[in-house]
Chains A and B, each alone.
Chain A
Amino acid sequence: MPSKIPIGPYHPLQDEPEHFLLTVEGEQVIDIDVSIGYNHRGIEKLAESKTYDQTVFLVERICGICSTSHPLAFCLAVEDCAGIEVPERANYIRTIIDELQRLHSHLLWAGLAGHFLGYHTVWMWAWKYREPILELFELISGNRNHYGMMRVGGVRRDIPPEHYPAIQKVLDELKPKLEMLYQAVLDDPVLRARLEGVGHLSKEDAIRYGVLGPTARASGVDIDVRRDYPYGASDKVDWEVITSTRGDLLARVEVRLLECFESIKMIEGCLRQMEPGPISADVPKRIAPGEGIGQVEAPRGECFHYVVANGTDKPERLKIRAPTYMNLPSFRATCLGETLSDVAIILAGIDPCYCCTERMVQIKDGRRSSSLRWDDLIKLSWEKTARLKEEVKDGHLRLD
């Protein structure tokens, strides 16, 4: 007699409001139904009443992790529509930000995957290694998240050459740690047992469901926007697309961790090759009637924006498609036949998008003493950015 188990829309494991209705027979999952829309914010409609410049900030708020993918995809779409040429240096900076974001996102996911498996060492380690990248972001943009770096026609802020050594230092220190994490995951018999052969997605199913990013590449679908539709400096630096043919969870872990090394290669290439120059093109406030498409390889897969311009300073229509939108329905292929205890990690296997908010509560003497207000948070953030910049100037940056 099959029974039904609802998961979500709010539950302690998956922080996002999504509802899964599992039909199980004994331990085995025989059907799954996914409902979304609990968090639909009407951003596409809202964009129709914002100027192009404002929309860049609006779409940055779609996601707290791949927060640069959406503004970048939107900028690319508007540039595609209006035929705007982006200066060379801006392209390199775009790729640096994009790849740093991929590093922090993949490490975040690796940590969460460990957490879902009850493997808290992996969780703590991965997040510890992720921290210096967030601090780098704070150094570059003033923010750990929501960098506000993109604008139509280029980027808003330059990366001054005196920051290059700090970026290089973080990357140099990250490499051995990533290597260790990668080997540790592959070597651990328990992790292998939880991941190998679990949540299998065949290449045919991957194509039928149109899955994207690491989820597709782990199933042998060789797609990557950075190679197929080059943007930023992705066609000017050396790197490779990572694929695997196994299609199970272990393959998804492998693909993501190996991609981190490629991201490091790309950032290093950018730092070596980029030359001084303007960081933004002149952009008309009103965009002539037309349409444009922007694609960005977000950490979870292709992020797609379609813009229709009508000659005013506001878009006529903006269609946004985040990668998880295509990856979610594939649960119907991956969960069926698996046991209930594996469902959590399979659901996490596509890296559904989370948003983490930090620095909300101040802890004193191990006891919660007071909540920080918005002003306090901003002040703290400013102080830290100032300290990091001071340390860079003195030549002994302490990113810990």
Chain B
Amino acid sequence: MKVKIVNRNEEIEVKQGVKLLDGLAERGYRLMSNCGGMGSCGMCRVKVLEGLKEPKEEYFGPLSEDLKKAGWVLACQLPVEADLVIQLEEKLVERWPGEEVAEVEEPELSRLGKKLRRALPGFNCSGNVCGYPTCFAYAEALARGEASPEGCLPGGEPVRAALKKILEAEAERRQFIGWLLEGIAERVQLDREADRRLYLRTSPQDLKEVAQDLLIGKGGRLATASGVDKPLSNEIELLYHISFDRSGMMVSLRTALPRNEPRSASVASFLPAAEFIEREIRELLGVEFVGHPRPERLIKAEDIPDDVYPLRKDFRIDDIMRRK
């Protein structure tokens, strides 16, 4: 079917029966839709100039009588059954075809730099005092340890104290990370970090020993584990979230298992706190935990076969229905 958009005087091809909102999105016309296509917010409305046959009640949703009379309908509810001529509400179009997302003007700062920047006054002293052209550059230099927190004279004592406090907290954090990686440093990679988060990557072979070191040796608390199915890279990612409560640091230890035969050494074999969650991951994602003390079903409904894993991305409800 052909849909003509009068705003741009352009004609696009949309498959018959497809909802207009989806058809437009496919061609790069992204309309705002707060409710996500439920037909309740009214933001994806378009004016149909020609081609609307037998309008149904659901096409209008929350639209006012005036709008209805003027020919506006909800694009998320209207299936394209004939050629249409439509007009879009310019201010409700989130993105036009070919339009790029506007770039952020602020320079990209490091994690610590961002924190320091927030404490700085932003007077724009143009580097007359601290020697850096902007507060961004000064914050970044502080984060790298190249500048002194005493440099910000315009901010006065409160700003300098705030900078020192942030830098001290960071030093403490570094010390914690140093202690955390003692003895396991060559078996893990620091994947990502935030103020109170640390993501470590390890190999499936090393997982058990590293987890044992963190949980038993260093006294971490197992908050939980989670699995993420990643069909694109053909792997299942397994994460153990280990909390070091007194330091306020959540350490997520992750490893990637091959999707066709996901096997991992069981943490529950030495820590009962992991028993339930490993059983859950086993039945919902199909990861086999070697050495688990009780590899039995825990939460999956009885009518779902053993080898159907609902949390995998390729799971379809028919997988259950077909076998009944």
Contacts and interface: CB of A to CB of B under 8 A. Distances in A.
B78 interface: no
Nearest to A81: B194
A33 to B, nearest CB: 9
A321 B223 contact: yes
Given A306-B239, A325-B276, A210 B196 contact: no
B197 interface: yes
Contacts of A186: none
A293 B250 contact: yes
B271 A208 contact: yes
Interface residue SS majority, chain B? mixed
A333 to B, nearest CB: 9
B221 A207 contact: yes
Nearest to B298: A37
Interface residue SS majority, chain A? mixed
A319 B311 CA distance: 11
Contact of A45 (B245, B272, B299, B311): B311
B224 A304 contact: yes
Contact of B273 (A37, A210, A302): A210
Interface in A297-315: 302, 304, 306, 308, 313-314
A35 B277 contact: no
B204 interface: no
Contacts of A291: 192, 199
A306 B299 contact: no
A91 to B, nearest CB: 15
Interface in B26-73: 34-36
Given A36-B298, A37-B298, A210 B252 contact: no
B310 interface: yes
B224 A37 contact: no
A210 B301 contact: no
Contacts of B35: 54
Contacts of A293: 197, 241, 250, 252
Given A208-B272, A229-B250, A313-B36, A36 B241 contact: no
Q: Which of A304, A306, A313 has the largest number of chain B CB atoms within 10 A?
A: A306
A329 B276 contact: yes
Nearest to B302: A37
A44 interface: yes
Nearest to A208: B272
Given A293-B197, A304-B223, A329-B276, A228 B271 contact: no
**Chain B, interface residues (CB within 8 Å), range:** 35 or more
B241 to A, nearest CB: 7
B301 to A, nearest CB: 7
Contacts of A159: none
A35 B275 contact: no
B246 A228 contact: yes
B188 to A, nearest CB: 17
Q: Which of A51, A54, A210, A304 has the largest number of chain B CB atoms within 10 A?
A: A210
Nearest to A316: B228
Interface in A329-378: 329, 332
A347 B269 CA distance: 25
B248 interface: yes
A242 interface: no
Interface in B66-118: 94
Contacts of B36: 50-51, 53-54, 313-314
B248 A317 contact: no
A208 B315 CA distance: 34
B300 interface: yes
A147 interface: no
B222 interface: yes
B248 A42 contact: no
B226 interface: yes
B228 A308 contact: yes
Contacts of B192: 291
A326 interface: yes
Contacts of B243: 228
Interface in B258-286: 271-273, 275-277
B310 A45 contact: yes
Interface string B99-141: 0000000000000000000000000000000000000000000
A228 B250 CA distance: 10
Nearest to B250: A293
A321 B197 contact: no
A332 B268 CA distance: 15
A350 to B, nearest CB: 14
Nearest to A302: B223
Given A35-B298, A302-B223, A328-B276, 16 more contacts: A44-B311, A45-B310, A209-B272, A210-B271, A222-B245, A222-B246, A228-B243, A230-B248, A293-B197, A295-B223, A319-B226, A321-B224, A326-B224, A326-B273, A329-B273, A332-B272
Interface of A: 35-37, 40, 42, 44-45, 50-51, 53-54, 80, 207-210, 222-223, 228-230, 285, 291, 293, 295, 302, 304, 306, 308, 313-314, 316-317, 319, 321, 325-326, 328-329, 332
27 contacts: A36-B298, A37-B297, A37-B301, A40-B300, A40-B301, A42-B310, A44-B311, A45-B310, A50-B36, A80-B197, A207-B221, A208-B271, A210-B223, A210-B271, A223-B245, A285-B94, A291-B199, A295-B223, A295-B250, A304-B224, A304-B241, A308-B228, A319-B224, A325-B276, A326-B224, A328-B276, A329-B276
The 5 closest A-B pairs by CB, nearest first: A37-B299, A210-B273, A319-B226, A321-B224, A51-B36
